[in-house]
Chains A and B, each alone.
Chain A
Amino acid sequence: MTIVRQAARAEASPAPAPAPGRTRPRSKDLRIALLFIAPAFLGFVAFYLVPTIRGIYLSFTRYNLFGDPKWIGLKNYTDIFKDKLFWNSLWVTLEYVVLNIGFQTVIALVLAVLMHRVAKSTLVRGVLLLPYLIANVVVAMVWFWMLDYQIGIVNQLIDWLGLPRIAFFGDQAWAIPTIAFVNVWRHMGYTALLIFAGLQAIPGHIYEVAALDGASAWKTFWRITMPLLRPVLVLVMVVTVIGSFQVFDTVAVTTGGGPINATRVIQMYIYQRAFAESDFGYASALSVILFIILGIVAFLQMKFLRGNESDLS
């Protein structure tokens, strides 16, 4: 939504665009435009539009990949409502999102402010961004090894400190926090860079005025930086929360949903229902529910954090 709005704003700004209040675009280029747009349009219809409609349709059917989908109305949804595994997956996912987003946002904010104030070099930013460019699967493997119970370096360190070893991926209580940590590690630099870009957009003269008034760095941060940064922070939160809800790769290659059900996040559950149990209708209904949850979460964040209003004007 926000991106659409940004696009609209960007469209209004470049000088060569026709003046506001212009008439409808003339259709002089219609034929060439159709040619230019044709491949993308095909891709849009075949891989976005039709699948979206088909996904909604499938959620009202029973379908095991063989034969035709059989219409069963709302049965999948009523079943899901009573499905303990679904509620578990929702709870586990929520636990993951809270831990992941909580730590990630605070660390990224600190890093962004530090990059902005003391280390403006591209090298520092580059190094911190690096984990984000590496595949989830790769990152998961490296940490799976470093956090190994027997000979992982982290447990060696814990041992050396005289503390009891931790079964990071094997302990039900530790599994989700561990996976959340791994993904905080991967995303903190990227998130910091997004916030950093927002910090750069705050005009320098505002800080100069604050400095003249003798405001402390602490006060400047809370009274000036944070309020002006709010729209960016909200945007970052919306995007990262939505991404966080769809955690899959890390879980799939480390715990596979275990131990017991401790890390069976919602996308893992959808995957297992669809491909391990060939229950495509049920899995589609789960996806619809996830879609709705994401929509509500994004809407609430925008509404309550007032992400679409800027204090900078």
Chain B
Amino acid sequence: MATTLSTRPRARTAPRRRKPINWGRVGSWTVLAFFILLTVVPFLWMIRTALSSNHSLAANSSNLLPADFSWGALKRVFGLQSQQDALAEGGSGAAVNFLLYLRNSLIVSTLITVAQVFFSSLAAYAFARLQWPGRDKVFSIFLGTLLVPPIFTALPNFLLIKNLGLLNTLLGIALPTMLMTPFAIFFLRQFFLGMSREVEEAAMLDGAKHLRIFFQIVLPNAVGPLATLGLLTFIAAWNDYFWPLLVGQTEASRVLTVGLGVFKSQSPQGAPDWSGLMAATLIAALPILILFLAFGKKVVNSIGFSGIK
């Protein structure tokens, strides 16, 4: 689906080019520019604040450049600043270690992405290409789970993870989405359905078994969609807050989003540690920004009807 969308020819009516000034176009660009600015400015403001020293923010609240440039906030959230320095610069003094949260987020998101994409591709292949009774019925039932709101399964899943003894572990955070999501299976099945059968059939004539065909022919041919799905899955896992909040409460099992919430709640009430908060926010956003710079086009083109989650 994603690939068909991106390769669709873009035959459109050509805009009229003759007129000296097309006021419609000027107006259109003005509106677009406004929204682009509205989108970009908060990111710049986040970076600007993260590189400011907290005490100078109040006096320079509308200066566009960092107020009294300092790496202090970033050091503080990485736990590299002594408690005295942290307190002196407006931090809460409570131990925060975003390096650990960063590591946790990386482990959880990677685990979910690799496992989910792999297991879902197996299932999607079985739904798209293998012949077995009840196939389409099972697939519709799988898809039906798209309609169940996450909050609804969250409470019982919390109990399950608790019974399994996985509360406050990284595996407990990752487990529910490691084996499948209906979206992942749907997404890959669409691709497998559209794939040419010829190569598979030729291999089949040579006596190759399904397992070999899947690993040596199907998967290598599906690198594009697998990567797109992996990217979307990673971003979703990285950004998730509600589930890790329930299951990963201890310092050792905290992911970035949860750590961010805790950091904010520890910040001194009267004079919050804005620089520290924005530094922590920047750390949480940065990996996604990097992924976006590297693969943005892939993500943008994957948003179509199949992108609806």
Residue positions of A touching B, CB distance < 8 A: 1, 3-4, 6-7, 10-11, 14, 16-17, 24-30, 32-34, 36-37, 39-44, 46-52, 54-55, 58, 65, 107, 110-111, 114-115, 117-120, 122, 124-131, 133-139, 141-146, 148, 150-153, 156-157, 160, 185, 188-190, 193-194, 197-198, 200-201, 204, 207-208, 211, 217, 232, 235-236, 239, 242, 245-246, 248-249, 252-253, 267, 270-271, 274-275, 280, 283-284, 287-288, 290-291, 294-295, 298
Contacts and interface: CB of A to CB of B under 8 A. Distances in A.
Which of B130, B182, B277 has the most CB atoms of chain A within a 10 A radius of its CB?
B130
B264 interface: yes
5 contacts: A11-B193, A32-B211, A33-B132, A135-B238, A142-B45
B135 A33 contact: yes
B84 interface: no
A43 B39 contact: no
Smallest CB-CB A-B distances: 3 pairs = A43-B179, A40-B123, A51-B156
Contacts of B297: 122, 126
A142 B4 CA distance: 36
B155 interface: yes
A239 B190 CA distance: 20
Given A7-B189, A137-B239, 8 more contacts: A10-B190, A32-B211, A36-B125, A118-B32, A127-B40, A128-B36, A193-B303, A194-B305
Interface in B147-183: 147-153, 155-157, 159-160, 162, 175-180, 182
A245 to B, nearest CB: 8
Contacts of A275: 246
Nearest to B307: A194
Nearest to B64: A153
A142 B43 CA distance: 8
B152 A287 contact: yes
B61 A54 contact: no
Contacts of A129: 299-300, 303
A290 B149 contact: yes
A14 B123 contact: no
Contacts of B155: 51, 55, 58, 270, 274, 280, 283-284, 287
B262 to A, nearest CB: 10
A58 B157 CA distance: 12
Given A143-B42, A194-B304, A253-B261, A290 B10 contact: no
Given A39-B180, A51-B160, A30 B132 contact: yes
B245 A29 contact: no
A295 B150 CA distance: 14
Would you call the interface of chain B mostly helix, strand, loop, or mixed?
helix
Contact of B152 (A3, A55, A135, A217): A55
Contacts of B147: 1, 295, 298
A141 B241 contact: no
A177 B190 CA distance: 39
B12 interface: yes
Nearest to A31: B132
Contact of B292 (A39, A133, A150): A133
B212 to A, nearest CB: 11
A89 to B, nearest CB: 13
Interface stretch (B23-31, B72-80, B219-227): B23-31
| Interface size range on B against A | 35 or more
B151 A290 contact: yes
A135 to B, nearest CB: 4
Most buried by B among A24, A39, A49, A110: A39
B57 A151 contact: yes
Nearest to A200: B8
B103 interface: no
A137 B257 contact: yes
A190 B146 contact: no
Contacts of A160: 62
Nearest to B256: A135
Contacts of A30: 132-133
B65 interface: no
A51 B157 contact: yes
Contacts of A10: 1, 190, 193-194
A14 B190 CA distance: 10
Contact of A51 (B24, B58, B153, B288): B153
Contacts of A295: 147
A54 B148 contact: no
Contacts of A294: 149
Contacts of A6: 305
Interface in B16-54: 24-25, 28-29, 31-32, 35-36, 38-40, 42-43, 45-46, 49
A204 B8 CA distance: 12
A141 B32 contact: no
Contacts of A11: 193
Contacts of A126: 292, 296-297, 299-300
Contact of A141 (B28, B127, B133, B260): B260
A105 B143 CA distance: 26
B274 interface: yes
A36 B36 contact: no
